[in-house]
Chains A and B, each alone.
Chain A
Amino acid sequence: MTAPGALAPQLRRTPLRRVAGLDRLALAGGVLLALIVLAALLAPWIAPYPDDGGSATHALDALLPPSGAHWFGTDQVGRDVLSRVLFGARTSLFIAVAVLAVSGVVGVALGVVAGYAGGWLQDVIMRVTDVFLAFPALLLSLALAVVLQPSVTTVIVAIAATWWPWYARLTASVAASVATRGFVDSARCLGVPAPLIVLRHVLPNSLTPVLVQLSLDGGGVILTAAALSYLGLGAHEPTPEWGLMVQQGQTLFTTDWWAVTFPGLAIVLTAFAFNVLGEGLRARLAR
Chain B
Amino acid sequence: MSRYLIRRLGQAALVVAGVVVLTFVIMRLVPGDPAVAYAGPRASPAELAAARRQFGLDDPLPVQLWTYVRDLLGGDWGISLHTRQPVRDDLFQAFPASLELVGAALLLAVVAGIPLGVAAARYKGRLPDLSVRLSSMLAVSVPVFWLALALQTVFGSVLRWLPVAGEYDTNLDTTSPLHVYTNITAVDALFTGNWPILGSTLAHLVLPTLVIAAYPAGVIAQMTRAALIEESARDHARLERALGFGETAVLARFALRPALNPVLSLVALVFAYSIVNGFLVEAVFNWPGLGRYAADSIRTLDTPAVAGVTLLVALLYVLANLAVDLLQGVIDPRVRTR
Give residues in A with beta carbon < 8 Å to B. 25, 127-128, 130-132, 134-136, 138-140, 142-144, 146-149, 219, 223, 226-227, 230-231, 233, 243, 246, 250, 253-254, 257, 260-261, 264, 267-268, 271-272, 274-276, 279
Contact = CB atoms under 8 A, between A and B. Distances in A.
Interface string B296-333: 00100100001101100110011000000000000000
B137 A276 contact: yes
B152 to A, nearest CB: 8
Contacts, number: 137
Contact of A139 (B21, B144, B284, B310): B310
A146 B306 contact: yes
Contact of A231 (B14, B138, B298, B301): B298
Contacts of A272: 137-138, 141
A147 B31 contact: yes
Nearest to B270: A136
Per DSSP, chain A at the interface is helix
A63 B262 CA distance: 49
Contact of B310 (A143, A233, A254, A257): A143
B273 A136 contact: yes
Contacts of B314: 134-135, 139
Contact of A219 (B141, B145, B277, B313): B141
28 contacts: A25-B130, A25-B133, A130-B11, A131-B15, A134-B18, A134-B314, A135-B22, A136-B273, A136-B276, A136-B313, A139-B276, A140-B310, A142-B276, A143-B23, A144-B26, A149-B31, A226-B143, A227-B143, A227-B144, A227-B145, A243-B143, A243-B145, A254-B157, A254-B158, A264-B146, A264-B149, A267-B143, A268-B142
Contact of B143 (A140, A261, A268): A268
B30 A138 contact: no
Given A143-B310, A227-B280, 6 more contacts: A146-B306, A227-B143, A260-B146, A260-B149, A264-B150, A267-B143
Contacts of A25: 130, 133-134
Nearest to B280: A227
A264 B26 CA distance: 31
B27 interface: yes
Nearest to A246: B146
A272 B141 CA distance: 5
B11 A253 contact: no
B18 A128 contact: yes
Closest 7 CB pairs of A and B: A131-B18, A271-B141, A264-B146, A272-B141, A136-B276, A253-B153, A138-B276
A145 B284 CA distance: 20
A274 to B, nearest CB: 8
Given A130-B11, A136-B313, A260-B146, A279 B29 contact: no
Interface string B202-215: 00000000000000
A142 B298 contact: yes
Nearest to B157: A254
B295 interface: yes
Contacts of B49: none
B140 interface: yes
A267 B140 contact: no
Contacts of A276: 137
Nearest to B272: A136
Contacts of B26: 140, 143-144, 147
B294 interface: yes
Nearest to B32: A147
B298 A130 contact: no
A131 B149 contact: no
A24 B294 CA distance: 43
A146 B298 contact: yes
Contacts of B283: 231
A148 B145 CA distance: 23
Given A146-B298, A231-B295, A268-B138, A136 B317 contact: yes
B99 interface: no
B69 interface: no
B303 to A, nearest CB: 8
B108 interface: no
Nearest to A138: B276
B141 A250 contact: no
B19 interface: yes
A25 B153 CA distance: 32
B16 to A, nearest CB: 8
Contact of B149 (A130, A227, A250): A250
Contacts of B317: 134-136
Given A127-B14, A131-B19, A147 B153 contact: no
A142 B294 contact: yes
Given A25-B133, A139-B313, A230 B141 contact: no
A147 B27 contact: yes
Nearest to B19: A134
Contacts of A268: 138, 141-143, 146
Given A144-B26, A146-B301, A272-B137, A130 B157 contact: no
A257 B154 CA distance: 10
Contacts of B310: 135, 139-140, 142-143
